[in-house]
Amino acid sequence: MSSDEGLLDRFVDRLPKNPLFKRVASWTLVPFWARWTPVKPLPGGPHLAFEPGDNLQCMMNLIMPLKIKSPIGRAEAALAIAQNKDAIYAGLNNVGTVHFARFVIVGDNICMFSVYDGDFTNYIRDFIATIGSVFNAVVELVEGGDDVVPCEENVEAFIQWVHERDLYQVPDTATDFLRDQEALNGDKAASGNDNLTLLPRNMVLQLRANANVSLGSGYRAYPGFSVAQVRKQLRIGW
Partner 1 sequence: MSAVFDLADLQGNILRGYRKPHVRYLILEVADRIAARRWLAASISGRDHGVPQITTGNWGAVKPDTCFNIGLTYEGLRALGTSSSSLEMFPNEFIEGMTARALKLGDVGPSAPETWPSPFDEPGRIHIIATIYAGDVGQLDQVQQRALDRNALTLLGTREGYNFRDDFVHFGYRDNIMQPRFEGVHDPQRHADGQPRAPLGTVLLGHPTNLEGLTWRVPQPAALGHNGTFNAFRVLKQDVVAFEEYLDQAASDLLEHAQVDELLPPDAEAKIGQVMSVEGRHGALREIVAANLCGRWRDGTPLALSADAPDPNVNRANFDYDRESRCPYGAHIRRCNPRGGQIVQRVANNSRRLVRRGMPYGPAYDPAKRDRDKPEPERGLLGNFIGASLGAQFEAMSCDWLNLGLQDPRITGSNDPIVGANDPKTSWFDLPLKSGRTIRLRELPRFVWTRGGAYTFLPSLSAIRFLGSQMM
Encode 142-182 in three state secondary structure.
Answer: ECCHHHCCCHHHCHHHHHHHHHHHECEEECCCHHHHHHHHH
State which H helix or E strand residue 64 sits in.
strand 58-65
Rg of the chain's alpha carbons, rounded to an integer? 21
Residue with Cβ nearer partner 1 (80 or 128) = 128
In the complex with partner 1, the residue whose CB is nearer, 103 or 116, is 116
Compose the 24-43 pattern: x for residues touching partner 1 by CB under 8 A, - for all others: --------------------
Give 102 or 232: the residue with its C-beta nearer to partner 1: 232
Question: Beta-carbon neighbour count of residue 158 at 10 Å?
Answer: 24
Show contacts with partner 1 in window 165-224 (CB under 8 A).
none
Single out the residue of 48, 82, 189, 211 in contact with partner 1 (rule: CB under 8 A): 48
94 binds partner 1 (CB under 8 A): yes
| Interface residue with partner 1, options 31, 52, 144, 216 (CB under 8 A) | 52
The site that binds partner 1 (CB under 8 A) totals a number of residues, namely 38
How far, CA to CA in Å, does 233 sit from each of 52, 222, 223, 227?
19, 15, 15, 10
Q: Is 121 in the site for partner 1 (CB under 8 A)?
A: yes
**Near partner 1 in 124-153, by CB under 8 A:** 125-126, 128-130, 132, 152-153
CB of 84 to partner 1, least distance (A): 17
Phi-psi region of 149 (alpha: psi -120 to 50; beta: other; left: phi over 0): beta
Cis peptide before 171 (omega within 30 of 0): no
Angle between helices 85-95 and 120-139 (to 10 degrees): 170
Binding residues for partner 1, rule: CB under 8 A, are 48-50, 52-53, 55-56, 94-97, 117-119, 121-122, 125-126, 128-130, 132, 152-157, 159-160, 225-229, 231-232, 238
